[in-house]
Amino acid sequence: MSKAKSKRPPWHKANFDVLEQIQRNAAGIDVGATEVYVCVPAGRDDERVRSYATFTADLHRLADWLVHCGVETVAMESTGVYWITLYDILEARGLRVYLVNARHLKNVSGRKSDVSDCEWLYQLHTYGLLRGSFHPPDDIRALRALARHREMLVSYRAAHIQHMQKALELMNLKLTYVLSDITGETGMQIIRAILTGERDPQVLATYRHGRCKQSEAEIAKALSGNYRQEHLLTLQQALNLYETYGQQIAAVDAEMERLYKALPPPDDGHASQAKPPQPKSRKRRKNQAHFDLTQALYQVTGVDLTQIDGIEALTAQTIITEIGWDVSPWRTEKHFTSWLGLCPNNDVTGGKVKRRSTRKTSQRVATALRVAAQSLARSESALGAFYRRIKARHGAPKAIVATAHKLARIVYYLLKHRTDYQDPGVDYYNQQQRERTINRLRKIAAKYDMVLQPQAGFSGAT
pLDDT in tens, 121-174: 898 898 888 888 888 888 899 999 999 999 999 999 999 999 999 999 999 999
pLDDT of 421 reads: 92
pLDDT of 275 reads: 75
Angle at 279 between CA 278 and CA 283, to 5 degrees: 135
Alpha-carbon distances, residue 294 vs 8, 80, 291, 303, 350 (angstroms):
62, 33, 9, 10, 50
pLDDT of 271 reads: 58
Whether the CB-CB separation of 92 and 62 falls below 8 Å is answered with: no
- Phi and psi, residue 285, nearest 5°: -80, 170
- Nearest alpha carbon to residue 339 among 361, 309, 354: 361
Angle at 370 between CA 321 and CA 182, to 5 degrees: 85
Beta bridge partners of 26: 73
Whether the CB-CB separation of 307 and 328 falls below 8 Å is answered with: no
Q: Are strands 26-31 and 73-77 parallel, antiparallel or unpaired?
A: parallel
pLDDT of 394 reads: 92
Cα dihedral sign for 319, 160, 221, 207? negative
Q: Are strands 35-39 and 49-53 parallel, antiparallel or unpaired?
A: antiparallel
Whether the CB-CB separation of 130 and 22 falls below 8 Å is answered with: no
| Amino acid, res. 383 | L
The whole-angstrom separation of Cα 264 and Cα 417 is 18
- Phi and psi, residue 6, nearest 5°: -75, 135
Integer Rg of the chain from CA? 30
Whether the CB-CB separation of 86 and 31 falls below 8 Å is answered with: yes
pLDDT of 19 reads: 67
Alpha-carbon distances, residue 206 vs 171, 176, 185, 214 (angstroms):
20, 17, 12, 12
Whether the CB-CB separation of 53 and 101 falls below 8 Å is answered with: no
- Phi and psi, residue 420, nearest 5°: -80, 160
The whole-angstrom separation of Cα 408 and Cα 239 is 39
Output the DSSP codes for 355-421: E-PBPP---HHHHHHHHHHHTTTT-SSHHHHHHHHHHHHH-HHHHHHHHHHHHHHHHHHHHHHT---
The whole-angstrom separation of Cα 443 and Cα 449 is 10
pTM: 0.84
Beta bridge partners of 120: none
Beta bridge partners of 101: none
Whether the CB-CB separation of 30 and 37 falls below 8 Å is answered with: yes
Task: Average pLDDT across each block of 10 residues of the chain; the chain has 462 residues. List them in order.
Answer: 48 58 89 92 89 94 94 89 92 92 66 79 88 88 95 96 96 92 92 94 91 90 92 96 96 96 74 70 78 92 92 95 92 93 80 77 91 94 93 93 95 92 88 90 91 72 42
Beta bridge partners of 77: 100
- Inter-helix orientation angle 56-68/83-92, to 10°: 40
Helix (H) or strand (E) holding 173: none
Alpha-carbon distances, residue 214 vs 52, 168, 191, 208, 210 (angstroms):
66, 18, 17, 9, 10
> CB neighbours (10 Å) of residue 375?
17
**3-state class (DSSP) for residue 46:** coil
pLDDT of 108 reads: 56
